[in-house]
Structure 1
Amino acid sequence: MEKVKNLIIGFGKGGKTLAKTLAAKGEEVVVVERSDQMYGGTCINIACLPSKRLIIESTKGTEFSHAVAGKNEMTAFLRDKNYHMLADEDSVTVLDGEARFVSDHVVEVTKADGQKVQFEGERIFINTGAEPVVLPIKGLKESKNVLDSTKAMDETKLPKELVILGAGYIGLEFAGMFARYGSKVTVLDLHTDFIPREDTDVSELVFKDMTKAGVNFELGVNVKEVKDVSDHVEVVYEKEGVEVTLKADKILAATGRKPRTAKLGLENTAIKVDERGAIVVDDQLHTTVPNVWALGDVKGGLQFTYISLDDFRIIKDELFGTGKRRVSDRVVVPYSVFIEPPLSKVGLNEKEAKAKGIEYRLFKLPVAAIPKARVLQETQGIFKILVAKDSDAILGATIYAAESHELINLLALAMKAELPYTLLRDQIYTHPTMSEALNDVLK
């Protein structure tokens, strides 16, 4: 057994950034990654960056196989860069293998050749991410024509007919993308409400625009079976008591992700997990075992790479700073859904404010009224900003518009700094830009 100062399980955003920081402090670090195709983590290899690359290429009219080839070239470059960022450090060892806890501070790593090596970690950081949820639908797991979000981005032949299971944000991103490449896309979802987290007027606009773009939605359906039939796959679902069989080339299961903890051997430790398998942590990301932390998707909660990065900041502050940073400090967190146009949100929307009994002023503007939107020829969408009724504090914003993924960070910064909405209203912006719409929407 080898004793090590810092053992990091998983090469994701939080883990790799922590490893680099520890190495800069001259500390010994062992980073265990189960696959040499995952150096750098989920985001750069199978999620954020490759999916957004394909989405952007779809808006340019790039042929699908060429877009996939370009995506693969990009991820290979980033994967190699991330590997050398750590492996070239004198105090860092990158080890390929499957990690499994033997006891609270002892981890056994099984390499690809079957060789096993054990490490006793003075500090252990779990950063294993998340994995797709497979719903218990008859035939789904066995079908050779079912893709998850990772496999969908590695297809070299565009599916002529694609069925997507799940109308969540990931499902919507892929639906819009494949429709623009030329697939006939049908999205099936159990729920009758479309993106229910959003305000009704926003969700109705998104539904209308995606339908116009060629995406067919079947909501309130119960998928009963998936069957491979010679050169295609069939999906059997029930809607309002009527059974329907839908033929497709491929099925994309976009039904969520769960923390990747099943093979970690946590049953051999005192590390607690919740009912979804997420590692339980406190406000500084400590697990229920001393000197063992969890960061990123594996601890549950928001599954964003920037949350994993902020997890790193909390741990770094504890180890080398004031120790004041907390998970509970994270009250202003924006998100973007990369449909066309992007949908972005931070803070409260109307639906949430009403549910909390918070009184507000609503500032609203159709995107068609924005000059830059006319220049871009992307006039669909809406700006909605909530301001407190009895003060100038910004409560939240929803922007369904071109470049909203950039704009939302401006709103989030203003909220974090507790700036009055009037500052954004009266700011001098460059022209023509989407940000100058804040002059008009906040009048």
Structure 2
Amino acid sequence: MHQRYDAIVIGTGQSGPSLAVRLAQAGRKTAIIERKNFGGTCVNTGCIPTKTLIASARVAHTARRAAEFGVMLDSPVVVDMARVKARKDLVVSQSNQGVASWLRSTPNLTVIEGHARFESAHGVMVNGELLEADEIFINVGGRATVPDLPGLKDVDFLTNSSMMEVDFLPPHLLIVGGSYIGLEFAQMYRRFGSEVTVIEGGPHLIGREDEKVSAAVKEILEGEGIQIRLGAKIQRVEKRGDLVLLTVSDNGASYEVSGSHLLLAVGRIPNTDDLGLDKAGIKTDARGYVVVDDQLHTNVTGVWALGDVNGRGAFTHTSYNDYEIVAANLFDNDKRSVADRIQAYALFIDPPLARIGMAEREVRASGRPALVGTMQMARVGRARERSETQGYMSVLVDAETKKILGAMLLGIEGDEVIHSLLDVMYSDAPYTVIQRAMHIHPTVSELVPTLLQDLTPL
């Protein structure tokens, strides 16, 4: 069997569906292919389900603190994990089914379920049928890395995907990996009621961040009773009775850590190993990511790669921005580029950590003269009112151009507030624009101008 299309989109993650619909609406006969879950990582095992679980965990945590606010509960807080999971599943199914229905109802767009593999530069095989198109868009995403640990093959373990099926409370959850995914699950399950131990091989948590940021996050998590082991290199994993046992070394000393369940959160790898890219002549880098230029073209004419698979971003928002860049260049005569976007992401623990632009160590390494403003969240009225005063805010400014270089907000509502700084960066305006703005009281955002009024040399 052989089918000819104008365009083929492989994968229904954050960028694929929007692009497929735009292609179809532009008159291109389009096919979109999905091998498993419509909506990709974000909808099924990433942002939507984890933030839904985090919301349940926050309610449990707040309920336990009710007396601090003068609210007296008649009985201890009990978390029903089956109901927590059922709520998460409902939210996920609404999103998952919404993506599938949207695609299936779009005229000029054919939805195909199956695993696509390239047979040539412009041909893919799906379910034994060859599909060809002049334009092909790869949006196949990534998956959790499973490290090669001695003994791991004999032990049951969890990843961010299989954690979505957990409907019980692990008595003691061991988490290997102290970065974004691992720490979100750590706080979440500690608030549900599990004992939690995080094992991180590096010298500090979330290794891409400045050390003082990581130290502040560590203090917050340890304050909730999460055990954190840094500089911990795992030598062996084994099953001992009902427990999972990790043998860990630290500067030559060896010790054991045991728990009831094991979650691996040590990174992500792209889904390119079973895509037939070699038959298409599509280049990948040493880690398996598809190599693209700033307009997301691969080295093969008429083939693009969007989302996590291209290694140019690892977030839902970067994937959607990839769609916007490709669509702007294809349809709008708008020469948008990945090079134009500013790094922005968040760690959704509570309080959240939000980051844009350059980190302090990156600014120092650049050698440019810079200014920094720092404020403890304890100075923020909104934080005091809610008894959530942990964390601090920091903004970096170029001393000569007065442009904002980057910012870090670790504190209540920081993941929302930081966009006021991000938008000033995108407008290429000096920091004085927001410094002189009048913000609403009482909010967290009102302290941003104040933060920028007391800058000191970095």
TM-score bracket, shorter-length normalisation: over 0.9
> Are 2:26 and 1:41 aligned?
no
- How far, CA to CA, are the matches of 2:294 and 2:109 in structure 1? 28
Task: Write the mapping of 1:79-228 to structure 2, written as runs, cut at 5 A.
Answer: 79-110=96-127, 116-144=128-156, 146-228=157-239
Alpha-carbon offset, residue 235 of structure 1: 1.6
Match of 1:340 among 338, 342, 350: 350
Q: Bigger shift: 314-323 or 154-163?
A: 314-323
Please report the RMSD computed on the Cα atoms of aligned residues, expressed in angstroms. Answer: 1.4
3-state SS in 2 of match to 1:149: coil
Q: Partner residue of 2:312?
A: 301
TM-score by length of 2: 0.92
Which residue type is aligned with residue 3 of structure 2?
E
- How far, CA to CA, are the matches of 2:82 and 2:56 in structure 1? 11
Q: Partner residue of 1:265?
A: 276
3-state SS in 1 of match to 2:89: helix
Alpha-carbon offset, residue 269 of structure 1: 1.8
Per-residue CA deviation, residues 205-241 of structure 1 (Å, 9 max, x unaligned), is 1111111111111111111222123423222222232
Q: Partner residue of 2:426?
A: 416
- How far, CA to CA, are the matches of 1:346 and 1:320 in structure 2? 29
3-state SS in 1 of match to 2:227: strand
3-state SS in 2 of match to 1:8: strand
Q: Partner residue of 2:16?
A: 15
Mapped contact 2:30–2:109 kept (Cα < 8 A) = yes
Q: Which runs of 5+ in 1 are unaligned?
A: 111-115
Match of 2:94 among 77, 94, 97: 77
3-state SS in 2 of match to 1:409: helix
Mapped contact 1:334–1:408 kept (Cα < 8 A) = no
Q: Bigger shift: 268-277 or 24-33?
A: 24-33
3-state SS in 2 of match to 1:197: coil
Q: Partner residue of 1:29?
A: 30
Per-residue CA deviation, residues 19-61 of structure 1 (Å, 9 max, x unaligned), is 11112223221111011xx112211111011111111210101
- How far, CA to CA, are the matches of 1:284 and 1:408 in structure 2? 27
Q: Partner residue of 1:60?
A: 59
Alpha-carbon offset, residue 65 of structure 1: 2.7
Mapped contact 1:134–1:141 kept (Cα < 8 A) = no
- How far, CA to CA, are the matches of 1:284 and 1:69 in structure 2? 41
> Are 2:443 and 1:436 aligned?
no
Mapped contact 2:434–2:449 kept (Cα < 8 A) = yes
> Are 2:414 and 1:404 aligned?
yes
3-state SS in 1 of match to 2:445: coil
Alpha-carbon offset, residue 323 of structure 1: 4.5
- How far, CA to CA, are the matches of 1:389 and 1:420 in structure 2? 10
Q: Partner residue of 2:375?
A: 365
- How far, CA to CA, are the matches of 2:208 and 2:242 in structure 1? 38
Which residue type is aligned with residue 48 of structure 1?
C
Alpha-carbon offset, residue 149 of structure 1: 0.7
Which residue type is aligned with residue 357 of structure 1?
G
- How far, CA to CA, are the matches of 2:389 and 2:210 in structure 1? 20
- How far, CA to CA, are the matches of 2:326 and 2:207 in structure 1? 34
Per-residue CA deviation, residues 368-411 of structure 1 (Å, 9 max, x unaligned), is 01101011210011011112212422111110011111111111
Which residue type is aligned with residue 213 of structure 2?
V
Q: Partner residue of 1:5?
A: 6
Count of aligned positions:
434
- How far, CA to CA, are the matches of 1:264 and 1:25 in structure 2? 27
Identity of aligned residues (%): 37
TM-score by length of 1: 0.95
Alpha-carbon offset, residue 76 of structure 1: 0.6
- How far, CA to CA, are the matches of 1:194 and 1:186 in structure 2? 13
- How far, CA to CA, are the matches of 2:208 and 2:361 in structure 1? 8
Alpha-carbon offset, residue 280 of structure 1: 0.9
- How far, CA to CA, are the matches of 1:176 and 1:371 in structure 2? 25
Which residue type is aligned with residue 4 of structure 1?
Y
Q: Bigger shift: 80-89 or 240-249?
A: 240-249
Mapped contact 1:3–1:122 kept (Cα < 8 A) = no
- How far, CA to CA, are the matches of 1:352 and 1:328 in structure 2? 18
Per-residue CA deviation, residues 275-309 of structure 1 (Å, 9 max, x unaligned), is 11111111211111111111101111320111111
Match of 1:289 among 300, 304, 320: 300
Alpha-carbon offset, residue 426 of structure 1: 2.2
Q: Partner residue of 2:402?
A: 392
Change (3 A) 1:390 1:319: closer
Q: Which runs of 5+ in 2 are unaligned?
A: 61-78, 454-458
Change (3 A) 1:322 1:412: same
Q: Partner residue of 1:326?
A: 337
